[in-house]
Amino acid sequence: METGSKQMVFSGLFIAIGVVLPIMFHAFGAGSTFLPMHIPVLLSGFFVDVPYAFAIGAITPILSSLFTGMPPAFPVLPYMIFELATYGATASFAYKRLHLNPYLCLLCSMISGRVVAGFVVWVLATFFAAKLPGPLIFIAGAVAKGIPGIIIQLVIIPPIVFLAGRYKPAKKEGDEIGM
């Protein structure tokens, strides 16, 4: 499978997981606490290039909203699109271009995604009269409420990345295609 095809397959897989996984968590009322949609989006950054990871982050909440009603179309969906797109792109850039370890990649992604979400919340509140808290209160609340999900991400994602790297097929002579 050539690189573009491989990345498309991975993208479809991560989007599908990002739509299905939250359904299971929301069935128990634990979606916004455990952040299940964030897991496949963050994970995608370690397996696909920046444009694909960005697209996965943007498309996943849109499809989830269309198919399941989660997240709600307004005001949550707009900031989740930008937040998750930032997660995927930042994780991919930090891992594939800057060669940071997975823990640092996750932290950079989580911080940048929340900052972008805070900015979008400000735009929605200022220009679209959305009833949302100020950006700093929003970010603080999102982090505080999402601590269990953040812990799960930090515990689950790096071992998956390490295992995937460990079992990656060896490159052949002259082969420039890699994960």
CATH code, 130: 1.10.1760.20
Nearest one of 24, 34, 35, 32 to 68, comparing CA atoms: 24
User: Which pLDDT tens digit goes with each residue over 62-71?
Assistant: 999 999 999 9
pLDDT digits (tens, 9 = 90+) for 86-100: 999 999 999 999 999
Above 80 in pLDDT, residue 172?
no
Domain count, the chain: 1
Q: How far apart are CA 74 and CA 70, in angstroms?
A: 11
Q: Which domain holds residue 77?
A: 3-163
Tokens standing for 66? 């269309």
